Every structure is written in C-alpha cells, then in structure tokens.
C-alpha cells in the first residue's frame, strides 16, 4: 500500500490514549505483550520514535499491572462510553498543546470504541492537530467510515492493533461501477477512414468491460471540427493547443469529482505521455486522489513513457478494435490526509526552500511571521495561515519544524515540483469555499506547463494563486495569478510587485 509517513514523524514521539473500558485487554494476553504489540504495530507502519501509553479505566481497576508494564493508568471520570471518549479527546488536545509538545511533531494514537460515531464532534479538533504537525491515528471496534479515513492517517481494528497487526486494509476498492471519461486526441489517435467513430466508441466500451469496468463511459474529443462531430463533448482546438487544453480538462474533471474511494476512470488517448510532459505531474496527482488512469498511445511506448501511476496501457489500434491492454497493474487505495482542511485555515503557503532560500540574517520563524503580516497587510487574509516547506532529504529541518512549518523533504528538483503540484491541488480540492493559495517557488516551476495549466484550473474554481519568485519577472502578471512578489520582499513582509485584485479578502 502507498502511505505517506513524513520524515519528521518517523522518529517523533507517539502518545497512546487507550480507553480500556471499550477496548479491554484481550483474554489470556499479558499487558507487557500488549505494550510490545502496540510498539511493533507502529514501527511496522514507519513510526519508530518513543512510545508512551496512557490507559483510561474504571477507578476500581488493578493499577499495578499497568504500572508494571510501563503503562500510565488514568482513572476515568465518566462511566458512559461516549462521555469517556470526550474526556480522552480533551486529554489528547491538552497533551498536544502543552508547551513540551506543541512545538514538535508527534503521533497521537487513540484506542477507543467507535470514533466514527463521534467524528462530527472531533473532526475540527483532529484537523487542528494535523495542522500543528500532530499525526492522528485511531484504533476502534468496527470498520472505519470513509469520513473517518479522510481525517486520520491510519485506522486499526482494535483486535489487530493489540495483537501487533496491520491497520485496516481499505485498499480493495470496487471499481466495477465507476464512470469512465475518455479524453481523445483524434489527431494523435485517428479514426480509420473506413470505420465509423461510433464503432470505435463501442469497441472502447467493450475493452473497458473486459477489464471489469461497467460504469458509464463518456467521450471528450479534441481536434478539427470535421474529426470530432461524433460526440457532443467535442472541443475544436488548434494543433499547438490540443495537449494543454486536454490536460486542463483532465485536471478539472479530477478536481470537480466527488470525494469517493474511487472517483473516476480517466482514459487519455494521446501521443505525448513522457515524464517530461505536463502529464508527468498530473498522473501522480490523479493517483493520489484515487482516480484510475488508463492510457492509449499510437505506437510502442518509447523510453521515459509514463507507467508508474498508470493502471493500464493500450496500443491505440488494439484499443480501437476492443482488444486487451499491453500492461496493467492493481493499485491500493492511497491515504492522503496531510493537510488541515478546516475552514479556520484561510490560506496555505507552499515553499520550495531550495528555489527560495532563507535570506541571510533571517530565521524561518521570522519569515513565517513576516509572510503572514504581508498577506494580512495587503488584504489577502484575515485568518490563519498554514506553511509547508519542501527541500532536500539530507538537511536538518529543526529550525523549520520549531517554527510551526510542516516539512516535506521531497528530494530533487523534479520530485519537489511534483510534490508541490500534488499538494497545492489537493489543498484546493478539499476546500469547500474559495481560498487563497500562496506558492513560493523557483522560476523553473512557475514556467512549468503543468503549473501554468494548474493555475488556470485553480482560478476557474475561484481560488486565488499568489506567487513569489526569487527574481523579478519581465512582462505583465499572468492572467491566472492574482499577485506576485519578489521573494526577498515577501520574506521581509513587503508588498507584491504585481497584483490584479488589490485587497482581495477571501477569508
């Protein structure tokens, strides 16, 4: 399975809050064994820091057994299970905001009855904990709801956790009734002169059914007018714009789809699918949202052709005749709950530290304060601001994490750009209301065709893109960007160099 365990959470402390009343000690198992099993289950998921366990139970419990096993026993004030969960969640929150913990990332594991039943009460608080770099993990009696999975990183069934087992496997997603949208470049993947386009469409439907996809299939065609009149969803576009227009429509479909375990099958019929193309970042993002990516191309795939995040690939002529793909693979569901989507967060800042270094004489904590002031002084927010920094894997990030900045050590230039692309669009998709998105990046990212199209999609969804670059850019402000700063000016708390909507307040 593909899960995100952030670098600064691997060695972070894990605090366990165990409701013994609703999740009792398994019969015949000693507390020492339970303690080691919980540690083992966490380590197997990448959490290898110090583990402390607090057990909440009735006052008449024999406490010595817990103390002997290294478990802190806390007499529960409430006998009712739901009231006890409220007490535990309050203790979790107080632990996280304590001065010894609030400046450091941590993992918070809650072992209780059925958190899903009380999720509405605790969702806002869980979102706040995640925003402050506290990673929320759950163990409960029954299978988790999809809503719960969207708020936490892992959910165990309690029997599995107490036995040292893996989290609940919600990876087996039924895709059989998922709808498919086909994005078809009719110039790259043409219809033979002796075949009707409707026959090709029927053959594609047949090929999808043979793969187990029985949902509705719709076609969006791109090319000259005389080549695309077979579908009402046709886009007449000049040759040099076909790829970018189709790419934009793919992204927009993904962003506008409902949040379900498997949203859409996105089938793309085109020639340019190399790692260097805009699709290199798009497919990674689509997979992170659990969309199913299907491809067809007009010849044998050349070196560098995208395969990592693609479920199935066809040669165009084979697909057009209803044949089988040349390759296919099965993906597990990805869990992506890295960001606080609480409406109390007014703006998210995504900072490529390699492209926009910390200026001499400044500290990440001061830069965070200055950027927040600049955004408020220029009318772009009145609320809270979240910060995420991206950079090398082999540096010490303590000065960033201590400043309340989430760190993603993403690696090289390509990896950083792909991760920022993912995270910006994920943030925007999860927002229920229009928002401001600030991206502090090096010039190569701002000129990347994938980002240019992504900014256009964000604008169409009423999200303002605010950009900061390491040097001045010539010309006018791009139509997809609301304001642009020089990085050194923004780091000092100054105004934007270019702007389109002064004093625009989104929150």
Q: Supply the pTM of this predicted model.
A: 0.63
Which pLDDT score, from 0 to 100, does residue 277 have? 63
Q: Is residue 39 within a helix (H) or strand (E), and if so which, with residue range? A: helix 31-44
Q: Are 378 and 490 in contact (CB under 8 A)?
A: no
More reliable by pLDDT, 336 or 154? 154
- Whose structure tokens read 């900072």? 351
For 133, counting Cβ atoms within 10 Å of its Cβ (0-12 exposed, 13-18 middle, 19+ buried), the class is buried
Contact call for residues 56 and 84 (beta carbons, < 8 A):
yes
Residue 44 has pLDDT above 90, yes or no: no
Whether the CB-CB separation of 411 and 395 falls below 8 Å is answered with no
Summarize the confidence of residues 131-157 as an average pLDDT. Answer: 76
Distance between CA atoms of residues 436 and 458, nearest Å:
10
The position carrying tokens 């004093």 is 503
Q: Count the alpha carbons within 13 Å of 25 in the hemisphere toward its beta carbon.
A: 18
CA angle 443, 446, 449 (to 5 degrees): 125
Rounded Cα distance, 439 and 112, in Å = 39
Token pair recorded at residue 496: 């934007």
CA distance 168 to 399: 35
Full DSSP string of 80-93: SHHHHHHHHHHHHH
C-alpha distances out from residue 12 to 5, 40, 88, 149, 426, Å: 11, 15, 21, 22, 25
Give the pLDDT band of residue 340 (cuts 50, 70, 90).
Answer: very low
Secondary structure of residue 491 in the 3-state scheme: helix
For the chain, which domains are there? 7-162 (3.40.50.1010), 180-328 (3.40.50), 345-499 (3.40.50)
pLDDT given for residue 372 in this prediction? 93
**Mean pLDDT estimate for the chain:** 79
Phi–psi pair at 266, nearest 5 degrees? -110, 105
Q: Which residues of 312-346 are buried (b: 16+ CB within 10 A; e: fewer)?
A: bbbbbeebbebeebbeeeebebebbbbbbbbeebb
Residue-wise pLDDT for 427-485, tens only, equals 888 776 777 788 877 767 777 888 888 888 888 888 888 999 887 655 566 788 888 99
Residue 268: how many other CB atoms lie within 10 Å: 25
* More confident site: 144 or 196: 196
Residue 64's pLDDT band, with cuts at 50, 70 and 90, is: confident
What is d(CA 264, CA 290) in angstroms, rounded to the nearest whole number? 8
- How does residue 35 score in pLDDT terms, banded at 50, 70 and 90? very high
**Would you state the pLDDT for residue 7?**
39
CB 445 within 8 A of CB 460: no
* Per-residue model confidence as pLDDT tens digits over 238-282: 667 787 888 889 988 888 876 444 578 999 998 866 655 677 778
* Cβ burial, residue 76 (10 Å; 0-12/13-18/19+): buried
Please give the average per-residue pLDDT across 321-339, as a whole number: 66
State the Cα angle at 382 between 376 and 383, rounded to 5°. Answer: 115
């Amino acid at each position: 399975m593909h899960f995100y365990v952030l670098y600064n959470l691997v060695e972070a402390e894990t605090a366990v809050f165990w409701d013994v009343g609703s999740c009792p000690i398994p019969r015949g198992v000693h507390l020492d064994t339970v303690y080691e099993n919980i540690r083992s289950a966490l380590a197997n998921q990448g959490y290898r820091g110090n583990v402390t366990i607090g057990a909440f139970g009735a006052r008449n419990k024999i406490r010595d057994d817990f103390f002997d096993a290294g478990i802190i026993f806390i007499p529960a004030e409430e006998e009712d299970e739901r009231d006890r969960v409220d007490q535990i969640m309050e203790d979790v929150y107080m632990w996280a905001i304590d001065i010894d913990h609030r400046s450091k990332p941590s993992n918070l594991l809650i072992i209780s009855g059925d958190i899903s039943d009380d999720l509405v009460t605790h969702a806002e608080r869980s979102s706040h904990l995640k925003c402050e770099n506290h990673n929320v993990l759950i163990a409960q009696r029954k299978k988790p709801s999809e809503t719960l999975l969207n708020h936490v990183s892992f959910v165990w069934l309690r029997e599995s956790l107490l036995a040292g087992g893996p989290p609940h496997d919600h990876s087996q997603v039924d895709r059989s009734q998922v709808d498919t949208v086909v994005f078809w470049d009719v110039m790259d993947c043409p219809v033979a002169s002796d075949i009707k386009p409707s026959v090709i469409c029927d053959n594609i439907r047949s090929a999808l059914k043979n793969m187990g996809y029985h949902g509705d299939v719709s076609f969006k065609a791109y090319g000259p007018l005389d080549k695309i009149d077979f579908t009402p969803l046709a886009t007449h576009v000049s040759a040099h714009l076909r790829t970018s227009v189709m790419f934009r429509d793919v992204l927009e479909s993904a962003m506008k789809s409902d949040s379900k375990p498997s949203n859409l099958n996105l089938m793309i019929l085109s020639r340019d699918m190399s790692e260097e193309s805009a699709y290199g970042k798009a497919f990674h993002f689509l997979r992170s949202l659990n969309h199913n990516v299907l491809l067809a191309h007009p010849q044998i795939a050349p070196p560098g052709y995208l395969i990592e995040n693609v479920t199935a690939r066809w040669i165009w002529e084979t697909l057009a005749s209803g044949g089988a793909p040349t390759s296919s693979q099965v993906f597990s569901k990805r869990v992506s709950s890295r960001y606080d989507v609480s409406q109390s967060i007014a703006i998210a800042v995504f900072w490529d530290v390699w492209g926009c270094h910390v200026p001499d004489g400044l500290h990440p904590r001061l830069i965070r304060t200055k950027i927040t002031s600049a955004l408020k002084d220029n009318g772009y927010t009145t609320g809270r601001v979240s910060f995420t920094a991206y950079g090398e894997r082999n540096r010490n990030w303590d000065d960033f994490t201590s400043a309340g900045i989430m760190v993603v050590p993403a690696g090289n230039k390509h990896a950083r750009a792909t991760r920022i692309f993912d995270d910006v669009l994920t943030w925007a998709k999860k927002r229920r209301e229009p928002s401001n998105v600030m991206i502090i990046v090096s010039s190569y990212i701002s000129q990347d065709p994938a980002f240019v199209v992504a900014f256009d999609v964000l604008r169409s969804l009423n999200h303002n893109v605010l950009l900061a670059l390491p040097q001045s850019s010539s010309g006018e402000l791009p139509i997809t960007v609301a304001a642009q700063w020089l990085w050194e000016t923004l780091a000092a708390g100054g105004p934007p160099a270019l702007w389109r909507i002064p004093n625009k307040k989104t929150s």
